[in-house]
Structure 1
Amino acid sequence: MKTIIVPTDFSETAYNAARYALGLAGQMDTSRIVLYHAYELIVPIPEVPTTVPMVNPEELRAASLEGLEKMKRELLPLLPDNASLETRAENSLLPAQIDQLCRQEEADLVVMGITGGSQLEEILVGSNTVDVVKHTTCPVIIVPSAARFTPIRKMVFACDFRKVVQNTPVQPLKKLLDVFRPELHVLNIDHDSKHFTSDTPYETLMLDTLLEGYNPQFHFIDHTNVVQGIMDFAVQQEADLILIIPKKHGLFEHIFKRSRTTQLAFHTHIPLLTIHE
């Protein structure tokens, strides 16, 4: 794993994610960590009144670079040997720029934070993180504000066993599994077998075949709430990482939905790895 990108807004949540990324870089033998700040310059629309004060673009960029250098100085003592810590600032929207940035930097992984603080923080920081996941094909690790780095030894792969061959990103998944070599637990949550079909045994066999060599352990658990079931299982197993494959109208949306029963992604201490299908 050559390069990790760490988007930052200079919040404590972002600093925590950066510290996690540096710990991860040590385990992954990463050579580059890029701290990235996307600042958005507000452009006035002619003949439309605004109360937002105008900002000099050069001053905005200078402030961004200053923030990045301060963050770099504070993180340098945690930098693994033989790794470099670089900075990059751009006038852009992070979700719109992230995929191009990953290609330019030849990134293997994006690491960024998500907050478990106030409702406003969850909306602002949470939605930005979710938008990044939706707009990049690069694997993303989402680091909850309560998470502290521990080496990835045990991973829970939450799977719905639907069109496994078509939907599983085999190459990036195996690339990460080869780095971590974790104890791998494949988890399916259902209730009263509502989603169990005649294809489920076949799909399970296909996933087992795709994961040949990684010794996956399969678990089928009955729970009325999928997200709660995943989190409970991950905590019980003392997992270091939860893996999901984002799909439209799938598990990822359920995890980040703004309801009382599915806010767990904002409050769990276990980081979440997303790899696009």
Structure 2
Amino acid sequence: MNTILVPTDFSPAARNAAMYAINFAKQVKCKKIIFYNAYQTPIVTDANMAIVDAIDIEEMKKASEENLTAFKLTLKAFCDKNMELETLSEYGVLTMDINEVCTNNNIDLIVMGVTGTGKIAENLIGSFAIDVSRKATVPVIIVPPDAGYTDIKEIMLACDFSQVVETTPVDPIKRILNETSAKLFVVNIDHRQKHFTADTPFESLMLDTLLQGYNPEYHFIDDADFVQAINKFALEKEVDLIITIPKKMGWFDALFHKSHTKALAFHSHVPLMVVH
């Protein structure tokens, strides 16, 4: 892994995510971290409001660049001597431009913070992290607000054993396992075999084949509450990172449903890594 992108709005949650990224980079020997700020003009809702002129945009650009410089300076002391810290300020919308930014800067991983204090602005920031994780083509680690970094030794992959070959991004999963030398738990949550089909044994065998050489430990848990089961397992096994694989209309959508976000993404102490 060579380059990590850390989108930031300079909030405490964003700084926590940046610290997580720095420590993660140390573990996997990543060479470069880019702190990224996307700024844009306010949305005009009143036809009588004056259009923001070029001077205002230039002031926004200057503020963004100055904030990025200060942000980098406060974090430089926590980095290894050979680690590069760069800043990138662009006029645009984070969730719309993220893949272009990643392509132009050869990004391998995105690390973002998420908050859960209930404040409107902070919840909006949290939704940005979720939106980015859905749209980004590179893996995204979503860092809960109070998550401190511990070396990644235990990783959980939540799997529904449905169309495993077609939907499992094996390469990024293997990459994180290789770079951290972590133990892998594959966890399936179901209740009274509601989603168990005739293909499930075959699908589990296919996953085992895809992960050959990594010796994953499989756990099948009967629980009607997916989020609660994930949290409980993560606590019991001292999981350091949860890998999730988004699928259209699948459990990932349920995972970040309004009623579940508070329970897991916004209140878990375990970071989530979303891979495509």
Give the structure 2 partner of residue 96 of structure 1.
96
Which letter maps to 1:230? I
Q: Deviations over 1:112-155 (max 9, x none)?
A: 00012115245301211111112211000000001001111000
Cα contact 1:257–1:263 (8 A) shared by 2: no
Change (3 A) 1:155 1:65: same
Q: Which moved more, 1:144-153 or 1:247-256?
A: 247-256
Give the structure 1 partner of residue 49 of structure 2.
50
Query: 1:263 Cα shift?
Result: 3.2
Query: 1:177 Cα shift?
Result: 1.6
How far apart are the structure 1 equivalents of 2:261 and 2:63? 39
Note the residue ranges of structure 1 that are not aligned, 5 or more in a row: none
Note the residue ranges of structure 2 that are not aligned, 5 or more in a row: none
Query: 1:81 Cα shift?
Result: 3.0
Give the structure 1 partner of residue 163 of structure 2.
163
Give the structure 1 partner of residue 255 of structure 2.
255
Query: 1:111 Cα shift?
Result: 0.2
Change (3 A) 1:97 1:260: closer
How far apart are the structure 1 equivalents of 2:117 and 2:141? 19
Give the structure 1 partner of residue 177 of structure 2.
177
Cα contact 1:227–1:254 (8 A) shared by 2: no
Equivalent pairs counted in the alignment come to 275
Cα contact 1:122–1:266 (8 A) shared by 2: no
Which letter maps to 1:190? D
Cα contact 2:153–2:180 (8 A) shared by 1: yes
1:1-277, aligned counterparts within 5 Å?
A: 1-42=1-42, 48-50=47-49, 56-121=56-121, 123-259=123-259, 263-276=263-276
How far apart are the structure 2 equivalents of 1:105 and 1:74? 23
Change (3 A) 1:56 1:98: same
Query: 1:42 Cα shift?
Result: 3.9
SS in 2 for 1:14: helix
Q: Which moved more, 1:200-209 or 1:111-120?
A: 111-120
Change (3 A) 1:20 1:188: same
How far apart are the structure 1 equivalents of 2:224 and 2:31? 44
How far apart are the structure 2 equivalents of 1:142 and 1:67? 22
Change (3 A) 1:250 1:85: same
TM-score normalised to the size of structure 1?
Answer: 0.94
Q: Which moved more, 1:87-96 or 1:167-176?
A: 167-176
SS in 2 for 1:265: coil
Cα contact 1:244–1:252 (8 A) shared by 2: yes
Percent identical among aligned pairs is 46
Which letter maps to 1:49? N
Cα contact 1:25–1:80 (8 A) shared by 2: no
SS in 2 for 1:56: helix
How far apart are the structure 2 equivalents of 1:51 and 1:230? 50
Change (3 A) 1:165 1:260: closer
Query: 1:41 Cα shift?
Result: 2.2
Query: 1:67 Cα shift?
Result: 0.5
Change (3 A) 1:260 1:152: closer
Which letter maps to 2:49? T
Change (3 A) 1:16 1:52: farther
